[in-house]
Chains A and B, each alone.
Chain A
Amino acid sequence: MQAVSPSTSPAAAVATPPAHAQVPPNVARATTEPAWVRRLLIGTALVFLSLFLFVPLVSVFAEAFKKGWDVYVAAITEPDAVAAIWLTLTAAVIAVPLNLVFGVAAAWAIAKFDFRGKSVLLTFIDLPFSVSPVIAGLIYVLVFGLQGWFGEWLMANDYKVIFAVPGIVLATVFVTFPFVARELIPLMQAQGQEQEEAARVLGASGWQTFWKVTLPNVKWGLLYGVILCNARAMGEFGAVSVVSGHVRGQTNTLPLHIEILYNEYQFAASFAVASLLASLALVTLVLKYIVERRVQQELKQSQTSTH
């Protein structure tokens, strides 16, 4: 059973420096690996990350700027590119909040209660991850396309779902479905129900318990989940490709636009647009860091003020 100690509070999750480094030296000696093991582990981790992470990232930017700054700027200010940026943002802005609400509801049900069929539910939630994007797009074509369930009715009433923005949003929602839920669930499971039960026993209503006890505890998991959801929503290629229609300047998202540029042999331009998405990722990571620092400062202040 895990003891509720100060190190389980959210602020300690912001490990700067690692909490482990603050223990007295004789304790550290007993609970830390010898230096050579440490260095070996760090080295291995870094080599692994380099091969699979850092080098690809650097090469995106290297390719983007291969033809110089002018080509870079032209690539991202061209009208089709701008239209793609707007469309991508629209899809993300709708998909992420929807999946956020769902994720929180699902995590609450799964982590705080014991019920039959939990594993089955979890597996269904995981399923969109493993569905090939081609199928993810195809199923919506099967439902809303002209040959599908609602196709004739939609065409008769001139509602456009597939090959228009709503279809793209649906495909995006589908592929980013599990992100928030799957970030929150292990975290909420590890935290258990004791704090919420204590709050209830002390007279808090359901909503108060949720807002004031549960949510603050999972702030970081929630933020991670939203960030991942957003990043995937903006970067989704396969599923959107099926439902998009590829009409230039209208139904192309950023990833599709990158493919178009690549197929026109405009490699520097395509990597330029790709670097936009990579930069967005870096920006959100920086934002995450800033928010974490802010909260850590708040916590420090509240601790010094109460002592």
Chain B
Amino acid sequence: MLFFWKKPFAALVAATLALGAASAHADATLLNVSYDVTREFYKDYNQAFAKHWKQTTGETLTLNQSHGGSSKQAGSVVAGLAADVITMNQASDIDILAERGGLVPADWAKRLPNNSAPTTSVTVILVRKGNPKAIKDWADLAKPGISVVIPNPKTSGNGRYTYLAAWGSVIKAGGKPEQAKALVTQLFANVPVFDGGGRAATTTFAQRNIGDALVTFESEVPLIQSEFSGDYQVVYPKTTILAENPVSVVDKVVDKKGTRKQAEAYLKYLYSDEGQAIAVKHNLRPRNPALLKQYQAKFIGLPTFTVDEVFGGWKKAQADHFRDGGIYDQITAAGRK
């Protein structure tokens, strides 16, 4: 009667199922669950690694990617998304895999060099060309009348790093926690809209022309410069936070699938010369000291601090600042009356 499309669609469904079954017979497949802004990086890296693996072992490797908000992705892995490797931007998102369901051992970070973080980035400030509001440092962003676009720290690792960077900059300059809290309160009172993630915040700043400044990762800046027709310039604050991007094999999954060898090699290759070079190409700071020196014009040297140094680690930072009722909640409740 009305369902004249039923037959062709039934064929469609059958074909899809068949396709699904067929692809299951390829050589090993790895799933890399990552956060939002690493899409472009892993596109290139996966190509390079698959080639390298074929050359050294002769095995064809299929590499699948999944991207999304970092905590959401980690939550999915905990709920059963079969990731062979997980590549995040804050350690607490991998800690959760150990705590809930024992997917990785508690000492996962020690398995690879540099706390299992092959790349890093720093939080920087992006302003309109000519820097009309003369923004030079964190304190300038907190001045009245300035509007700053920052993604929601409750849903975005990028946003959390910004918060911690502003707080830590006061502590590192010898200030007290109360002064840090005051700065951060004023900073976040200057935010006109809290987007869910770093990319959405960028769109708000660059596409909708909202805000005098955008605070985001250094690795995002060249992409913004090339994608948006407006003109922007980067301001490096006096000191900023070093965002370490930890990676890990998901033990429970690779042992079940039998892909441990491939997964471990995949992560190790991130530290190799080629892996680090691809990172540089995508504006991630490498760990390789020679490369850092070579590209010091691109990766401007400036004093940085880590979450471990100033906040006692991510677990403590989450508990003190970002959990419900924590300092961030107190600040935003107070700042908006």
Contact residues of A with B, CB < 8 Å? 86-87, 89-90, 93-94, 97, 141, 144-148, 151, 154-155, 160, 162-163, 165, 219, 222-223, 226, 245-250, 260, 262-265, 267, 291
Contacts and interface: CB of A to CB of B under 8 A. Distances in A.
B12 A93 contact: yes
Interface in B8-44: 9-10, 12-13, 16, 20, 31, 36, 39-40
A86 B13 CA distance: 8
Given A93-B12, A265-B228, 4 more contacts: A89-B9, A89-B12, A90-B12, A162-B80
Contacts of A163: 76, 79-82
B228 to A, nearest CB: 7
A250 B13 contact: no
Contacts of A160: 82
A248 B101 contact: no
A146 B101 contact: yes
B327 to A, nearest CB: 26
A248 B16 CA distance: 16
Given A146-B78, A226-B2, A249 B16 contact: no
Contacts of B65: 247-248
Contacts of A154: 80
Chain A interface helix/strand/loop/mixed: helix
Contacts of B36: 263
A86 B12 contact: yes
Contacts of B6: 97
Given A248-B64, A265-B228, A147 B101 contact: yes
7 cross-chain pairs, A with B, having the tightest CB-CB distances, nearest first: A146-B80, A145-B79, A265-B227, A263-B199, A93-B9, A163-B81, A246-B66
A146 B80 CA distance: 5
B202 interface: yes
Contact of A141 (B13, B79, B228): B79
A223 B207 contact: no
A245 B66 contact: yes
Given A93-B13, A247-B66, A223 B78 contact: no
Given A145-B80, A163-B76, A163-B81, A247 B64 contact: yes
Contacts of B79: 141, 145-148, 151, 162-163
Interface of B: 2-3, 6, 9-10, 12-13, 16, 20, 31, 36, 39-40, 64-68, 73, 76, 78-82, 100-101, 197, 199-200, 202-203, 207, 223-224, 227-228
A246 B82 CA distance: 12
B88 to A, nearest CB: 14
Given A93-B9, A226-B2, A245 B81 contact: yes
Contacts of A263: 36, 39, 67, 197, 199-200
A18 to B, nearest CB: 25
Given A146-B80, A248-B66, A260-B67, A222 B12 contact: no
A171 B141 CA distance: 43
A267 B206 CA distance: 12
B203 A265 contact: yes
B13 A222 contact: no
Given A86-B12, A89-B9, A222-B2, A265 B199 contact: yes
Nearest to A151: B80
Nearest to B256: A155
A223 B64 CA distance: 40
A286 to B, nearest CB: 14
25 contacts: A87-B16, A90-B12, A93-B9, A93-B13, A94-B13, A97-B6, A145-B79, A146-B79, A146-B80, A147-B80, A151-B80, A155-B80, A162-B81, A163-B76, A222-B2, A226-B2, A246-B67, A246-B68, A247-B31, A262-B203, A263-B67, A263-B197, A264-B39, A265-B203, A291-B2
Contacts of A265: 199, 202-203, 223-224, 227-228
A94 B207 CA distance: 38
Contacts of B16: 86-87, 90, 165
Nearest to A230: B5
Contacts of B64: 247-250
B13 A223 contact: no
A90 B11 CA distance: 10
Nearest to B31: A247
Contacts of B2: 219, 222-223, 226, 291
Contacts of A97: 3, 6
A89 B17 CA distance: 13
A81 to B, nearest CB: 15
B40 A264 contact: yes
A28 to B, nearest CB: 36
A116 to B, nearest CB: 34
Contacts of A246: 66-68, 73, 76
A155 B199 CA distance: 34
A143 to B, nearest CB: 11
- Quick one: which of A97, A146, A160, A223 has the most chain B CB within 10 A? A146
Most chain A beta-carbon contacts within 10 A, residue among B76, B101, B207: B76
A163 B73 CA distance: 11
A253 B100 CA distance: 29
Contacts of A291: 2
A193 B336 CA distance: 58
Contact of A267 (B66, B200, B207, B224): B207
Nearest to A245: B81
A217 to B, nearest CB: 14
A113 B240 CA distance: 70
Nearest to B226: A265
A163 B224 CA distance: 31
A91 to B, nearest CB: 10
